[in-house]
Each structure stands twice: as structure tokens, then as C-alpha cells.
Amino acid sequence: MRTKGSVKRQRGILLLVAVMLLTGCARSDALWGVVDKLCVVNYQQKRDPAPCRQVYMAQGKERGFSVIQNPRYPYHFILVPTAPLAGIESAQLLAPGQTDYFGYAWTMRNFLKSQFTAPVPDDMLGMALNSAYGRSQNQLHIHLTCLREDVRRQLLAERPYISAQWRPLPDKLLKHTYYARRVIQPTAMGIYPIPLIAQQFHLTPSDLSYYGVALIPTTFDGQAGFIILTTRKDLDPGNRASVESLLDKRCELLTGQATSGVSASS
């Protein structure tokens, strides 16, 4: 027997599917339309974030965010700010005191674990933000879902070579060059990977549009931490810095289901 909560979530998912079909996946403002015109409005008027799973605006809309569950892949969650931000190249992301979107995105793993209804090791998961050239939606959004199994294996093998200094990974990751550094702390809150990348590579907001960034939880000598990964468009042939390709929306690591490989970027 379905609970009222499950029926409500199902209606929300159906509404989200309908909206995406009506707006069309090719429209670069489709995601923003769902968040701004539906989720935020419903939350403000009814305290119901549908079709989103969550809307958080305790400090106002300009510093808030929403959480969307992918209607096609139940273990794939997306954080979308409730303020209009184009993407990684948004200058606001480099401003002091900016909302810690990656820190909040890490809390989405609780939705995933609730959906899976069994323990999920943190190091099976990852977060990703695509470059301006490796995305289809022009509203900042951070993906959280499972890592690809081959990506997880490679990162575990190369973990000893990842230090507190930025260095290229010893081997290409999915045929692309990635720079990596480690951060040893138990939570993603306070890491702010985008300013770290900008500082290291001396990037302006416009320069950042060529970069994608991923945050991968792991352990270093028994201490909880994260690997920050970044790559640049055209650093290798065919590289669009679509770091979402490191993730597996089907969550084969959890479900054992066959995956068709890299999914479309958004």
C-alpha cells in the first residue's frame, strides 16, 4: 500500500516528466523553468516543493537551492540554485560568502540512500559540474549519483599519487587529462572547489567556462576526504570538460544493472 508521501512524490515525478517533455530537452532554459516557475512557486504558495524533492531558501531566494530527482534514474539527484546562475563561469561563485553549493549538494546523498533503502558507502558516489561546453542546460546544476565502476577503480589505484598540490593524474581518465588534488576533511562543506581551481590556474570567470569539476569522496590513510578533479575543454581531442561522464546515473555499483556507458550531458 502506497503512503501519501509516496503518492505525492510520484505525482511530482510525473509532473516533472511532463514539463520536460513540454519544454523539450533541447531547450537550454528547461531546467531553470522547472525550478523557478514550478518548484519555487509551489514552495512559496503551498510549502510544497513539487516537482522538486526539496527547496531551501532560509536565507532568501538569492542564496537558496532546489533538489531534483531525475525521473528516469531514481539514484540521480541534481542541485539547482534558486537564483539565476549560468554555470561554472558565473562570477558570483568566486565572491566571498557565496552559497556553498557543493557542500549542500553532498547532502543529496541522503535522498539517494533513502531511495536505495540500504547502506551506501560514500566512496561509491560523486558530484559533477560540467563546463559551459559540456552541458545542455544554462542554469548552474550539480549532479550527484554513483561513480562509474571503472572510474572508481582507477581513482582507488591512483589515490597514493594524489596530494594536497594540484597534479595531473598519472593516467588519463576516460581518455582525458584530469588534474587532481586532495582535501582531507569529513564533509564537502567548506571546500569550495571552483575558487580553488580559479586560484590555482589563474582563471577569470570567463576562463572557467572551459572547465568542469568533480568532487569524489574517498579516504587517505584512513582519514575521510575528497578528491577534487578538473579538466579543460580541448585539453585532449574531443574533451568538452563534461565531467558528468565520470558518473553512472544507472548506479551499476549499487544495482548491478548493465549500463550503456556515458550518458548525455546536461
pLDDT digits (tens, 9 = 90+) for 234-264: 999 999 999 999 999 999 999 885 444 444 5
pLDDT of residue 20: 52
| Residue-number span of the structural domain to which 194 is assigned | 123-136+145-245
Q: What is the CATH number for 230?
A: 3.30.428.30
pLDDT of residue 256: 84
Domain membership flag for residue 185: yes
Q: Report the distance separating Cα 197 and Cα 206, nearest Å.
A: 13
| 26: phi then psi, degrees, rounded to nearest 5 | -75, -20
In what helix (H) or strand (E) does residue 220 lie, and over which residues does it extend? Answer: strand 211-220
pLDDT of residue 27: 86
Cβ pair 48, 41 in contact under 8 A: no
Cβ pair 69, 249 in contact under 8 A: no
Domain membership flag for residue 71: no
> Which residue in 116, 107, 87 sits closest to 215, CA to CA?
107
| 81: phi then psi, degrees, rounded to nearest 5 | -60, 150
Domain membership flag for residue 93: no
Domain membership flag for residue 53: no
pLDDT of residue 7: 52
Domain membership flag for residue 163: yes
Domain membership flag for residue 116: no
pLDDT digits (tens, 9 = 90+) for 75-86: 999 999 999 999
Residue 152's contacts (CB-CB under 8 Å, 6 or more residues apart) are: 123, 124, 253
Domain membership flag for residue 174: yes
Q: Report the distance separating Cα 118 and Cα 169, nearest Å.
A: 33
Residue with cell 531525475: 70
* 51 preceded by a cis bond (ω within 30 of 0): yes
| 4: phi then psi, degrees, rounded to nearest 5 | -60, -35
pLDDT of residue 2: 47
Cβ pair 123, 224 in contact under 8 A: no
Question: Domain tally for the chain?
Answer: 1
Question: Per-residue b/e over 201-216, b at no fewer than 16 CB within 10 Å?
Answer: eebebeebbbbbbbbb
Domain membership flag for residue 237: yes
All residue ranges of the chain with pLDDT < 70 are: 1-26, 257-266
